[in-house]
């Protein structure tokens, strides 16, 4: 089971993946697309800001 925080003290949270080689599959069995990128969650602007703050590559 995985639990991801959404908000703490009414502030949005993000999850930054710890594995830069994770694969995400989107689409269906006939039109699947593999995406080789970390699976970060949360607001994209906030994710980008956190990654910049900590020097994490995109």
pLDDT digits (tens, 9 = 90+) for 5-18: 889 999 999 988 87
State mean pLDDT over 27-41: 69
Task: Decide if pLDDT at 35 tops 70.
Answer: no
The pLDDT score that the predictor gives to residue 36 is: 60
Query: Could you tell me if 7 and 15 are in contact, meaning their C-beta atoms sit under 8 angstroms apart?
Result: no
| CA pair distance 33, 31, nearest whole angstrom | 7
Tell me the domain boundaries of the chain.
7-53
Query: Could you tell me if 10 and 38 are in contact, meaning their C-beta atoms sit under 8 angstroms apart?
Result: no
Tokens found for residue 29: 């069995």
Q: Name the average pLDDT for the chain.
A: 80
């Amino acid at each position: 089971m995985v639990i991801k925080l959404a908000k703490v003290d009414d502030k949005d949270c993000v999850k930054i993946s710890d594995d830069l080689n994770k694969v995400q599959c989107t689409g269906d069995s006939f039109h699947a697309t593999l995406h080789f990128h970390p699976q970060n969650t949360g607001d994209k602007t906030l994710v980008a800001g956190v990654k910049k703050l900590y020097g994490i590559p995109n």
